[in-house]
Structure 1
Amino acid sequence: MDNYPLLNIFLTMVWFFLGVLWLMLLFRVILDVFRDDTLNGWAKAGWSIFLIVLPLLGVFVYLVVRGKGMGRREISAMAEREERYHAAAEQRAAARTTGQADELTRLADLKNHGELTPEEYEHAKANVLAR
């Protein structure tokens, strides 16, 4: 370790992280090839072979030729995920509202049967509505 200066350590780390970034870019392009519905099977096979045989050139050519579409596909996928999230949130809210309504109905029945005093009913109702 005495003959490995600090600058060499820094440069080794820079090259390491550049290699990691390169692999991330390569895998992102390969994933985009397989996620693209507009490409047929032969086109996907061709791009895959090109990316495996000549990865550096393949990634740059792919980004030049299909880079704009890659961004659009990512944006549409994010919009679709956001729609699914909001739909699930609406379903959870509807289920929670239905649960509150059922619980309020049950509390009203308990009050009508005399099992809860009006003060207990109001306290329980406030707890249900606060959730």
Structure 2
Amino acid sequence: MAGHVNLAYDYPVLGAFWTAMWVFLWIMWVILLFRVVLDVFRDDTMNGWAKAGWLVFVLVLPFLGVFVYVVVRGRDMGRREQQHVRAQREEVERYLRDTAGTGTSAADQLAKLSEIRARGDLSDEEFARAKEKILH
């Protein structure tokens, strides 16, 4: 072995700390960059040219672009994120309501069943079976 072998104790603790810090900051920078790009696309108040301008600015000069975007438009980023989450939640709830059925209670279903029976469209035997199905 002619060359020098690097061992774990050749790397100082302070060097490991700085490496971990730079990796952490780089990951945070990438997350912030993605958040800004998503916010540009999510913002309905900007027209297409404004969105294109911000995207070019953020992608050509990423550090300056993200810094300027956060300073100029950062106040409403949280509001737009909350609106997006609220809209998603409402969409999921609407989908679940539509998929699960009308969402009526057992009492409402029994009242409708009684009306159908009163009109004569349902026999007593069919009413009993349907009532049993609703109650169990």
Query: With structure 1 as the length reference, what TM-score do the two structures score?
Result: 0.67
Residue by residue over 1:41-90, the C-alpha shift from the partner in whole angstroms, topping out at 9 and shown as x without a partner, is 21112111211222122112111211122221111111111111221232
Q: Does 1:51 align with 2:58?
A: yes
Q: Which runs of 5+ in 1 are unaligned?
A: 102-111, 113-120
Task: Quote the Cα distance in structure 1 between the aligned partners of 2:21 and 2:87.
Answer: 36
| Contact residue 97 and residue 103 of structure 2 kept, 8 A | no
Q: Does 1:16 align with 2:27?
A: no
Query: Quick check: 88-97 or 8-17, which moved more?
Result: 88-97
The offset of 1:92, in angstroms, is 3.7
Q: 1:25 aligns with which of 26, 29, 32?
A: 32
Letter matched to residue 83 of structure 1? E
SS at match of 1:38: coil
Give every structure 1 segment of 4 or more consecutive aligned residues whose post-TM-superposition deviation is greater than 6 Å. Answer: none
Query: With structure 2 as the length reference, what TM-score do the two structures score?
Result: 0.65
Q: 1:129 to 1:88 in 2, by over 3 A?
A: farther
Task: Quote the Cα distance in structure 1 between the aligned partners of 2:91 and 2:17.
Answer: 44
Q: Percent of aligned positions with the same letter in both sequences? A: 50
Q: 1:44 to 1:76 in 2, by over 3 A?
A: same
Letter matched to residue 86 of structure 2? A
Task: Quote the Cα distance in structure 2 between the aligned partners of 1:96 and 1:87.
Answer: 11
Task: Quote the Cα distance in structure 1 between the aligned partners of 2:60 and 2:99.
Answer: 48
The offset of 1:37, in angstroms, is 2.0
Q: 2:11 aligns with which of 1, 4, 9?
A: 4
